[in-house]
Structure 1
Amino acid sequence: MPDIELRAWSKDDLELLHRANTPELMDQLGGPENDEQVLARHERYLRLQREGTAHQFRIVIEGHPEGVGIVGYWQHESHGEPALEAGWSVEAEYRGQGIAPAAVIAMLEAARSAGESLPVHAYPRVDNPASNAVCRKAGFRLLGEERFEVKPGLVLQTNDWVVDLEPLARA
């Protein structure tokens, strides 16, 4: 696994969000957003972080303090039960290096350290082998396929992956 660091989302991360706003990376969310929508997403990340209902992180690797991707988790409901949902993206030139699985594993550890105990779900499209591989490598187990409404009116055929957050052992 590559050496990565997660840094809590901050006001300085707007440019990272702009760089992630590509057709390829935003495909699962219905396509790229306009500048106003990107700014609104950035403000939402900051607000939800302050409220403690979501935690987004900048993925940092050596030589790239500006970040090479985004990973995070937020409150979610799965089949009527409270849960967390995870999501991530890594910029194209940094893919295939193990950064996404390492970042997801680090994000799960951050959630455990923060006292989170709800199951964490991820919903990559069934035709997205890279994101499904990230789930497998990060220790998620596949529950099956599901039609998932990503945003109002946009329903995708996804895999429902889950990982249970076991409390950290106390020494």
Structure 2
Amino acid sequence: MPSTLVLGGARSGKSAFAQGAAEALAAESGGRLVMVATAQAFDSEMTERIARHRLDRGAAWTTLEAPLDIASALEALGANDIVVVDCLTLWLSNLMLDERDAAAAVGELVEAAGRFPGTLWLVSNEVGFGIVPDNALARRFRDEAGRLHQALAHAADAVTLVVAGLSLRLK
């Protein structure tokens, strides 16, 4: 089934784009809407943000928490599932903070996405348009995100860039 990588900056509309596309497909097909969420609530602001996102999505969505292992979450889902993974850059930062092998995890994700029998949107922040960060950790994150996006863009059926709420299909 089709997979789409959706890239954009913070507050670009990328999540709304992916969720809207998933909801339209679910209305047509009767498939189950699933959000694979990667955020972790390390403070009260993030706890409130996560709760707001759940409320905004509404009861039609099933939420799976996968802050570190998206591949296993995808393997637990099926052909009738219409899935949005949001967001890959949060997932990447979770991996880095947990000192996991990001390259291995990206490989596992690419393989799992390729085997996934349902429809899949993978949402991520494009961070490569800005200046070179001034510290080693931020540069490493930017580089890892770029490699993640290249691997997924190569493997995905479609790639969409969202800027200011407008989508541009790249692949």
Q: For the superposition of Structure 1 and Structure 2, which TM-score range results when normalised by the shorter chain?
A: 0.3 to 0.5
The structure with the largest helix share of the pair is 2
- TM-score normalized by the length of structure 1: 0.37
- TM-score normalized by the length of structure 2: 0.37
The structure with the largest strand share of the pair is 1
The higher-RCO structure (CA 8 Å, 6+ apart) is 2
